[in-house]
């Protein structure tokens, strides 16, 4: 498939200015925040209602899996952009903005990449991967999750980095290599460090926020551009949101001059009661409390949910319930009807108060 031309790219950039139709609807007091969803290629291809929902609700689209190494680099010798290109074309056709997810991750790697064994090999592969992918979508994908989940699950001051093949072969430098390479290829791109578990009161979460700030500070001190922190925000139904902790975190990010984005919002409802109405209302309240903590303290550049409809979500498999009730993690139900969570999101999406 041919490379996206410079002219296409510029057309894409121009259309971004039109990509926020809701901005004009903003009402006094609360500006609209770009809202979108991750799009999964299988239902995108098979289910017209899924495509319609992406059109109706989103002004940002994120290919859910198709820009991951596993999809792009199944064969070591060639890149397969087919899935990503389909989603990118859809977004551009609808004048929706795009986020790229993700240039470096310790998971979703093809078998050959898991078998890399030397520093030189890892460095060569990482750099050429980022060069190729960022160059292809230059001017079309303006924001990248450059590194995903590089913070240790439970970090310490001595060991803030997650144990991945990149960390094992390259050490902490894997993060700077990724950011440096992305910036070199597309100096206009917004470069984001994306990670999970920043939201509740557990001491582990407090350590994760500190680790994120310290990694960002390190990059900054070395003159490496990092523009945003992506908070995945897979919120646990059974955990309380740490409002003061989040507000403080937002202030610290502000001091560093780093933006925030909500990148993978959904609710892990495995431990919530089975009754759908109760679950939906708890989930909506949780999302509301979370956004109330974050948005006034530092307005996110985007709010992105990890899917739109409960019909398709990773939560049911990854966080299996003990009963047989289907997971209800997202703002639309299985039949694409808006749930209470969508009402909460509407306040931000449409800028109403
Ligand atoms: C998940 C997808 O939703 C699934 O379809 C896939 O099988 C596995 O990955 N954190 C991330 C996302 O950064 O890329 C993950 O997405 C969910 C956790």
Peptide bond into 21 cis (omega under 30): no
Residue 271 Cα, ligand 1 centroid: separation in angstroms?
20
- Residue 30's pLDDT is 73
Mutate which of 38, 71, 102, 108 for ligand 1? The one with the most ligand atoms within 8 Å of its CB, which is 108
Predicted confidence at residue 353, as pLDDT, reads 56
Q: Is the pLDDT of residue 329 over 60?
A: yes
Cβ-proximal residues to 28 (8 Å cutoff; 6+ apart), any chain: 353
Q: From the CA of 11, how far away is ligand 1's center (Å)?
A: 30
Q: How far apart are CA 194 and CA 213, in angstroms?
A: 12
Is the distance from the beta carbon of residue 148 to the nearest atom of ligand 1 less than 6 Å?
Answer: yes
Which residues are catalytically annotated?
A: 149, 264
* Mutation test residue for ligand 1: of 314, 316, 329, the one with most atoms within 8 Å of CB: 314
**Residue with CA closest to ligand 1 atom 1:** 314
In the reported structure, the alpha carbon of residue 101 is separated from the centroid of ligand 1 by a whole-number distance in angstroms of 10
CATH class of 6-349: alpha beta
Task: Tell whether pTM > 0.85.
Answer: yes
Write the residue with the smallest CA distance to atom 17 of ligand 1: 314
Q: Where are the domains of the chain?
A: 6-349
Q: From atom 3 of ligand 1, which residue's Cα is the shortest distance away?
A: 314
Give the span between the Cα atoms of 253 and 181, in whole angstroms. 23
Kindly give the interhelix angle for 276-294 and 243-256, rounded to the nearest 10 degrees: 40
Kindly state the percentage of the chain with pLDDT values over 70.
Answer: 92
DSSP string, 321-343: -SSSPPP--SSB-TTS-B-HHHH
Looking at residue 31, its pLDDT comes to 84
Q: Tell whether ligand 1 has an atom less than 6 A from the beta carbon of residue 64.
A: yes
191-224 tens-digit pLDDT: 999 999 999 999 999 999 999 999 999 999 999 9
d(CA 228, CA 283): 26
3-class DSSP state of 52:
helix
Is residue 148 a contact partner of residue 100, using CB atoms and an 8 Å limit?
no
Which residues make Cβ contacts (< 8 Å) with residue 4, sequence separation at least 6? Answer: 136, 137, 138, 140
Cβ(81) to ligand 1 under 6 A? no
| Distance from residue 314's CA to the centre of ligand 1 (Å) | 7
Give the chain's mean pLDDT.
93
The CA-based angle 151-134-6, given to 5 degrees, is: 160
Least confident of 22-26, 107-111, 266-270, 339-343: 22-26
Q: What is the C-alpha separation between 311 and 308, in angstroms, rounded?
A: 9
């Amino acid at each position: 498939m041919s490379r996206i031309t410079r002219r296409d790219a510029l057309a894409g950039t121009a259309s971004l200015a039109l990509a926020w139709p809701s901005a004009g609807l903003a009402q006094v007091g609360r500006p609209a925040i770009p809202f979108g969803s991750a799009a999964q290629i299988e239902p995108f291809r098979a289910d017209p209602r899924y495509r319609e929902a992406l059109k109706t609700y989103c002004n940002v689209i994120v290919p859910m899996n198709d820009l991951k190494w596993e999809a792009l680099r199944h064969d070591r010798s060639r890149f397969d952009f087919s899935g990503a290109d389909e989603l990118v074309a859809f977004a551009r056709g609808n004048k929706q903005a795009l986020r790229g997810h993700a240039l470096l991750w310790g998971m979703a790697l093809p078998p050959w990449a898991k078998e890399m064994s030397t520093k030189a090999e890892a460095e060569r592969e990482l750099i050429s991967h980022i060069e190729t992918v960022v160059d292809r979508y230059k001017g079309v994908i303006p924001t990248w999750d450059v590194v995903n989940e590089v913070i240790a699950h439970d970090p310490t001051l001595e060991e803030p980095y997650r144990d991945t093949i990149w960390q094992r072969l390259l050490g902490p430098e894997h993060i700077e290599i990724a950011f440096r390479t992305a910036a070199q290829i597309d100096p206009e791109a917004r470069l984001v460090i994306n990670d999970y578990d920043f939201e509740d009161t557990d001491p582990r979460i407090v350590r994760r926020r500190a680790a994120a700030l310290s990694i960002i500070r390190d990059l900054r001190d070395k003159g490496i551009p990092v523009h945003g922190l992506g908070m995945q925000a897979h919120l646990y139904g059974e955990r309380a949101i740490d409002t003061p902790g989040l507000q403080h975190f937002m202030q610290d990010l502000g001091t560093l001059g780093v933006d925030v984005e909500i990148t993978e919002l959904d609710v892990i409802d495995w431990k919530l009661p089975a009754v759908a109405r109760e679950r939906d209302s708890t989930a909506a309240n949780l999302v509301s409390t979370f956004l109330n903590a974050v948005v006034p303290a530092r307005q996110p550049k985007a709010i992105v949910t990890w899917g739109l409809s409960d019909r398709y979500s990773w939560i049911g498999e990854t966080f299996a319930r003990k009963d047989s009730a289907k997971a209800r993690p997202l703002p639309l139900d299985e039949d694409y009807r808006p749930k209470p969570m969508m009402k909460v999101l509407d306040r931000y999406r449409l800028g109403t108060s």
